Amino acid sequence: MELNLETVTTPPRPAATVVLLRDAPAGLEVFLMKRHGLSDVLGGAYVFPGGKVDAADADLDMVAHMDQPLDTLHDGLGEADISASTAGALYVAALREAFEECGVLFAQGGSVQPATQAAALLREGHGFNAVLAQMALRLQTRSILPWSRWITPTQPSVMNKRFDTRFFVAAVPDGQVARHDNFETTESIWFSPREALQQYWAGQIELAPPQIMSLAHLARHSAVDSVLAAARARRPPVIQPESFNDNSGRVICYPGDARHSVRELALPGPTRLHYRNQRFEPATGFEGLFA
């Protein structure tokens, strides 16, 4: 993965990501998809379902199609600098992306198999909002919990675009199967967080820094309920990476690191990554992660 050396002065684009979780016999697993190699955003890397907020996300009739009022969603994000309608659009984007990218529908009402019927309507060319209206579905915002907020710095590590991404965590709904779409993503797999990181360190898969750090945070949990309980117990922290160069190359530090402007730890775990030989390597805070 090539290191970006450009400075990006444009404002970050609002985006939303859903980290899908499930309990497996060996413990917690996370759903990852491989982005198409020709994608201009993290092509070839394994990512969580997600994408940028579209204008239509704010146009949804949220009273009719959301299971919680906008003020509740706004309070859950803990962001005083955005409006309640903006908060609602972020939730809609997260739920829409989860459905469009991997077929997982967090909704109640409609037919016996709403996810299957909704997917068929989507393939026919109906937009997400139109599908919800036609099937009289209400999105289950209670099923996705705010986890963190990542803001790309003006010198991004591996791409030349900036995003302001809200990460949500959620258990995959019973009976639904997450899968890649064979368009934006070409492969998908369930990994334990530790296994995903180990495969990255071994050069078997590609990961970008937000995924590396999120997996490291999740690796400290053994079950879905543990992750969801942690999400309910706190406000989602804001994570703005900062970088500097030393004799070994680029170093990316995170809140809580001695070199970061924010000295309070955002989430328990690592606070630094090193970029060497076209890869990010574990540094401060990864000790004991694979014990």
pLDDT digits (tens, 9 = 90+) for 93-150: 999 999 999 999 999 864 447 888 999 999 999 999 999 999 999 999 999 999 999 9
Do 212 and 196 contact (CB within 8 A), yes or no?
A: no
Is 79's pLDDT higher than 70? yes
Interval 232-248: pLDDT, tens: 999 999 999 998 888 77
Interval 8-40: pLDDT, tens: 888 999 999 999 999 999 999 999 999 875 565
- pLDDT score at 76: 96
Query: Which among 174, 192, 170 has a CA at the least distance from the CA of 29?
Result: 192
Q: H/E element holding 244?
A: strand 242-246
Alpha-carbon distance of 285 to 238, in angstroms, equals: 18
Interval 193-225: pLDDT, tens: 999 999 998 889 999 999 999 999 999 999 999
- pLDDT score at 250: 85
Is 6's pLDDT higher than 90? no
- pLDDT score at 255: 95
What's the whole-model pTM score? 0.93
Do 104 and 98 contact (CB within 8 A), yes or no?
A: yes
- pLDDT score at 31: 98
